[in-house]
Amino acid sequence: MICLEVVPDKLSQVLERLESAIVELDDKLRFKVMLVSEEIITNQIRHTDFENRVPYIEVCIDISVGDGVVMLFRDNAKRFDPLEMEEPDITKSIDDTELGGLGIFMVKGYSREIEFEYRDGFNILKVVL
Amino acid sequence: MDIRQDGNFTIVSPTGKLDTISSPEFSRELSDALDKKPYGCIVDLSRVSFLSSSGLQALLAGAKRSRKDGTRYGVCGMSEMVNDVFTLSGFDRFIDTFDDVEGAMESL
């Protein structure tokens, strides 16, 4: 398993390092890994409350699990379960459509399994692709 | 990013990824192109390898702006994986999609 610390103002570097760590995956799975990573990490950076703690965000990926990938996203922010977010209504008209929650909605759509737990002061989101 | 004029249409062709890093610039350039209120605007995604919700947000802003100004707006040339993101998000319901620029110009 490979783990990378996410420095909020160096997001592009983390995404590049992550991408270089998964070059052996096929195109579709690599696309899904990068999509899920971007959506979850940007959510962690922009929408979580670290309550005056020094932010710690980490993404871990295990690509040695048969035909799939297991990803873990951890952060030390206030408990926040993204799976409890209200899903966007994608049947709305163009004028009423906003993108809040769309990222996690897409993550759910691409995941074979997804689960959240809050343990030892860390939000932990496990995603299986 | 390439922006060109073809008859009454402005063709906007981003390259590479439309992710959280690159989408703000794409959104600005698309907005600048729409400021000129062309008859039609086609976003050619044939050279785009990745699309996230940030890229969708830019495409949505372009669609809303076009609707407001009466500009005909469409997206074309999506790869299978980019198209999957587009349909999963439900955007194919309110943004017209086409195989290529020529098809978009004929239909819009």
Are A43 and A104 contacting, i.e. CB atoms less than 8 angstroms apart?
yes
Mean pLDDT along residues A46-65: 88
Identify the three-state secondary structure at position A125. Answer: strand
For residue A48, the model assigns a pLDDT of 81
| A99 CB within 8 Å of a chain B CB | yes
For residue A92, the model assigns a pLDDT of 75
H or E element in which residue A118 lies: strand A113-119
| CATH class for the region spanning A2-128 | alpha beta
Nearest chain A CA: its distance from B2 CA (Å): 23
For chain B, give the DSSP string. -EEEEETTEEEEE--EEESTTTHHHHHHHHHHHHHT--SEEEEE-TTEEEE-HHHHHHHHHHHHHHHHHT-EEEEE---HHHHHHHHHTTGGGTSEEESSHHHHHHH-
B60/A97 touch (CB, cutoff 8 Å), yes or no: yes
For residue A109, the model assigns a pLDDT of 93
Contacts (Cβ under 8 Å, ≥6 apart) of A47: A80
A95/B64 touch (CB, cutoff 8 Å), yes or no: yes
The CA distance from A85 to B86, in Å, is: 21
For residue A99, the model assigns a pLDDT of 65
Look at the pTM and tell me if it is higher than 0.90: yes
The CA distance from B105 to A108, in Å, is: 35
Backbone angles phi, psi at A71, to 5 degrees: -125, 140
More confident residue, A50 or A67: A50
- Model pLDDT for residues B59-77, shown as the tens digit of each residue: 999 999 999 999 999 999 9
Mean pLDDT along residues A39-60: 89
Nearest chain A CA: its distance from B82 CA (Å): 9
Closest Cα in chain A to B20: A38
Q: At what angle do helices A102-110 and B80-88 cross, to 10 degrees?
A: 120
Which chain A residues contact residue B57 at CB under 8 A?
99
The residues pairing with A50 across neighbouring beta strands, listed in sequence order, are none
Please give the domain boundaries of chain B with CATH numbers for all domains: 2-107 (3.30.750.24)
Q: Quickly state the pLDDT bin for A122 (edges 50, 70, 90).
A: very high
- Model pLDDT for residues A4-27, shown as the tens digit of each residue: 999 888 889 999 999 999 999 999
pLDDT of B17 above 90 = yes
Provide the 8-state DSSP code for A92: S
A94/B88 touch (CB, cutoff 8 Å), yes or no: no
For residue A1, the model assigns a pLDDT of 87
- Model pLDDT for residues A57-97, shown as the tens digit of each residue: 999 999 987 778 999 999 999 999 999 887 777 777 777 76
Hey, what are B76's tokens?
Answer: 């074309």
Is the ipTM higher than 0.85? The answer is yes
When the pLDDT of each residue in chain B is averaged and rounded to a whole number, the result is 96
More confident residue, B11 or A50: B11
